[in-house]
Structure 1
Amino acid sequence: MVSEPLPDPDSLTRDGLAPARSARVLLLACGALAREILDLIAVNGWNHLDLACLPAILHNHPDRIPKAVEEAIANHRPHYDKIFLVYADCGTGGQLRALCNRLGVDMVEGPHCYSFFEGNAAFAARSEDEFTAFYLTDFLVRQFDAFVWTPLGLDRHPELRDMYFGHYTKLVYQAQTDAPALTEKARACADRLGLAFERRFTGYGDLAETLRRV
């Protein structure tokens, strides 16, 4: 488990996380990954790694992610020997990869966090059979209202649910941890969306091995 106090999910959604500036290498990540990354740093004793997170809610506006990442790299680069970007493509249409190539920054492989949590190869193998699946991670289960229900206006117009989710058949909860309370909350999210429920324990997937090599 994370050994240091972590900002609450609402703070990670809105504000992200400032770095401690106490290490040589900065992981620049999405706020939705803060808990998992800090856990991996603590468990593995990766004291050379520091973490800064951009607001997780940027994922609802992927066109804004590249600019936010570029500004953050410019801001933090003078303080670190190396920056590693803990974002996948995340709906940017290759813009993040192009940005990293231009700036000489390495990044996580994969189309999105659902893929690297499950393992990019495993996710790709399932993709043709799961194009009607809606995915949630631990963070997104905690922040379901902030990321899904409220931005789509379902808190005000629940009748729009079938318009948004009528083509989905199931909700897949990719569990990073064994937390019964989160599983029940994920099941409730599936019920609210009118979808079948599947829990799939992924742990940290490709993320752990990727960070091990940084």
Structure 2
Amino acid sequence: MKPDNTELTEIGLAPFGGKGRILLLACGALAHEILTLIKLNNWSHMTLTCLPANLHLYPERIPAAVEVAVHKHRTEYDEIFVLYADCGTGGLLLDMCNELGVEMLEGPHCYSFFEGNEAFAETSEDEITAFYLTDFLVRQFDAFVWKPLGLERHPELRDMYFGNYEKLVYQAQTNVPELDEKARRCAARLGLKYERRFTGYGDLETSLQKVSN
């Protein structure tokens, strides 16, 4: 079952081999973070391949894209771990992973697992007026926020989209001053207060540590 109008080209980013190989099938928005963790922990038995990050703009297409990739690689690896949270699929991705017999990340979305699912669940109701960015989304703000909403052509729509938000929370995975400054500019462009919150890799890292054993 191939999703219509979805580019399924995978990006093999960490072609490590070895006995007992594990394939990490991930969202392209997590590629930089996963590669960093692989290198830091010397997980040479893991291979990373990514589906396009822009699938996040079409969450209904994610389950079928994951299904195609799992079937493609199943015989090549001892284990496949899906590095997506629910990501707006309404439980359909979890159902697909259960049907395929593969595990996936826990949590509703990357903002939750970067902060830690338990911690995010405790604070999310109090931050209903917060708009979140990760390292990836700060880097790709125009491509994944500004342009998809049509704000480069119609900046007057900004308040319609963001009028109910009060602050932009930058969930920083790394301590990079340039990203901090860019996130501040993103908040200013959206007319929101700015808060930087260092999360590190959160449950992404702890989940990979469990898989690596």
TM-score by length of 2: 0.92
The verdict on how the C-alpha distance between 1:31 and 1:161 changes in structure 2, with shifts beyond 3 A counting, is same
SS class of match (1:46): coil
SS class of match (2:175): coil
Q: What are structure 1's unaligned runs of at least 5 residues?
A: 1-12
- 1:76-128: CA deviation from partner (whole Å, max 9, x where unpaired): 11211110000000000000100011010001110000000000010000011
Q: What are structure 2's unaligned runs of at least 5 residues?
A: 1-6
Percent of aligned pairs with the same amino acid = 69
Structure 1 residue 18: Cα displacement: 2.0
Moved over 3 A (4+): 13-16
Amino acid at match of 1:68: A
Are the aligned partners of 2:38 and 2:44 in contact in 1 as well (CA < 8 Å)? yes
Structure-to-structure mapping, 1:90-129, within 5 angstroms: 90-129=87-126
Q: Distance in 1 between matches of 2:117 and 2:83?
A: 15
Structure 1 residue 153: Cα displacement: 0.5
Aligned residue in 1 for 2:47: 50
Structure-to-structure mapping, 1:104-183, within 5 angstroms: 104-183=101-180
Q: Distance in 2 between matches of 1:53 and 1:144?
A: 20
Say yes or no: does 1:188 pair with 2:185. Answer: yes
The verdict on how the C-alpha distance between 1:139 and 1:15 changes in structure 2, with shifts beyond 3 A counting, is farther
SS class of match (1:18): strand
Aligned pairs, how many?
Answer: 202
TM-score by length of 1: 0.91
Q: Distance in 2 between matches of 1:102 and 1:142?
A: 35
Amino acid at match of 1:90: C
Aligned residue in 2 for 1:22: 17
Amino acid at match of 1:17: I
Are the aligned partners of 1:173 and 1:198 in contact in 2 as well (CA < 8 Å)? yes
SS class of match (2:12): coil
Structure-to-structure mapping, 1:81-96, within 5 angstroms: 81-96=78-93
Are the aligned partners of 2:16 and 2:45 in contact in 1 as well (CA < 8 Å)? no
Are the aligned partners of 2:129 and 2:167 in contact in 1 as well (CA < 8 Å)? yes
Which residue, 200, 211, 214 being the options, matches 2:197? Answer: 200
Are the aligned partners of 1:141 and 1:182 in contact in 2 as well (CA < 8 Å)? yes
